[in-house]
Amino acid sequence: MSRTRVHNLSISLDGFATGEPQSAEAPFGHAGERLHEWMFATRFWDAATGAAGVDDALAQQHGVGIGAEIMGANKFGPPGWQDDPDWKGWWGPNPPFHTPTFVLTHRPRPPLEMEGGTTFHFLDASPAEALETARAAADRLDVRIGGGATVVRDFVAAGLVDHLHLVVVPIVLGRGVSVWTGLEGLEDRYDVEAVSTPSGVTHLTFTRKR
């Protein structure tokens, strides 16, 4: 059975997955890369110098059994990328997705075939419609909701997410995009596991109740 999954979405203690303002120079605003330092230290991020262990094991789940990704327009590029016909994402010629990748935008453009198996498709669609399209492309594998936080929230609120992995980093950002907005009572629909690790982060795994 194909599931819909979220992995490695890092948030501050106060729930922000990104700071503000977001720009080409500062994709995460005033948060910088502080939400992701735990991940940079793993083998998942850097096979040569990263560490194994529980942070790494959970991070590695990101790619296991995934056949397609859906991401929001704000993950694909800085504000205004839709006005740049040459924008091909942040990731260079070989993006780290290696599957069909669906970018939600109100201004779709033709698909972009990249190296390494990633093809970007641009969709103006509701979460349910986008998921149906991505699932058809995923060849019976799972679909990852790649973020940002508003897209994850929308898919969770629509009841479309089976597995949600958040990583709480011990900083207080004060402002930004909160992953929690609109998700009151989330625990009624999911089993929740909390595991703190020696790096100082706490992994929250939400598994949809049967």
Spatial separation of the C-alpha atoms in residues 157 and 160, rounded to whole Å: 8
Choose which of 112, 123, 160, 204 interacts with a second copy (CB under 8 A): 204
Asked if 209 interacts with a second copy (CB under 8 A), we say no
Nearer to a second copy, 16 or 81 (CB): 16
Asked if 13 interacts with a second copy (CB under 8 A), we say yes
Nearer to a second copy, 12 or 105 (CB): 12
Instruction: Name the one range near a second copy by CB under 8 A: 21-29, 74-82, 111-119, 194-202.
Output: 194-202
Total residues binding a second copy (CB under 8 A): 27
Asked if 158 interacts with a second copy (CB under 8 A), we say no
Asked if 186 interacts with a second copy (CB under 8 A), we say yes
Instruction: Show the tokens assigned to 111.
Output: 């698909």
Choose which of 170, 208, 209, 210 interacts with a second copy (CB under 8 A): 170
Choose which of 65, 93, 116, 174 interacts with a second copy (CB under 8 A): 174
Asked if 45 interacts with a second copy (CB under 8 A), we say no
Task: From 197, 164, 193, select the one nearest 42 (Cα to Cα).
Answer: 197
Asked if 201 interacts with a second copy (CB under 8 A), we say yes
Asked if 208 interacts with a second copy (CB under 8 A), we say no
CB 33 within 8 A of CB 192: no
Asked if 54 interacts with a second copy (CB under 8 A), we say no
Residue at token pair 């989330």: 186
Choose which of 36, 43, 98, 175 interacts with a second copy (CB under 8 A): 175
Residue numbers at the binding site for a second copy (CB under 8 A): 13-15, 168, 170-175, 178, 180, 182-187, 192-196, 200-202, 204
